[in-house]
Amino acid sequence: MQFPLREKIAGEIALSEQPGKTMRKWREELRISQTDLAHHMRVSPSVISDYEAGRRTSPGIKTIHRLVDALIEIDQRTGQKLSKRFEEYSDVIPSMRDWSVGMRAVDFLRRIDGKLLTQKLNTRRVVNGYTVIDSIKRN
């Protein structure tokens, strides 16, 4: 089940408007330091720091590939916490994404041609991503 996780991480970084923030999100998800990640990737910690802070231009595909490999390998070495959590829900969550920059709920609904089903949602509230749940599979 690691291929879909690799694909998700790589795709999210590559498509992100702020790839450094997305890189940091995944690193923090694994609860590892910049130093540990840098050591595993065989780069200096300042390289990781510069990407995450936006001081370096967007990473190329080779850098993203090395980063994703390092994250997956670290996850395997530490008990596959992320892989197992992702695998547990992959059949009922066909799509999930966090954005580096949020948008108002009303704008998100407009973009997906969605319909507000509850009056309790503040449509001016900023949302930072989405999760699609296949409720039929969950039951």
Buried b (16+ CB within 10 A) or exposed e, 28-67: eebebebebbbebbebeeebbbebbeeebeebeeebbebb
As a whole number of angstroms, the distance between CA 41 and CA 86 comes to 23
**Structural domain boundaries of the chain?**
2-89, 95-138
**CA 65: distance to chain centroid?**
14
Full-model pTM: 0.60
22-74 tens-digit pLDDT: 999 988 888 889 999 999 999 999 999 999 999 988 888 899 999 999 998 88
pLDDT for 134: 67
Q: Which CATH architecture group holds 2-89?
A: Orthogonal Bundle (1.10)
Helix (H), strand (E) counts: the chain: 8, 2
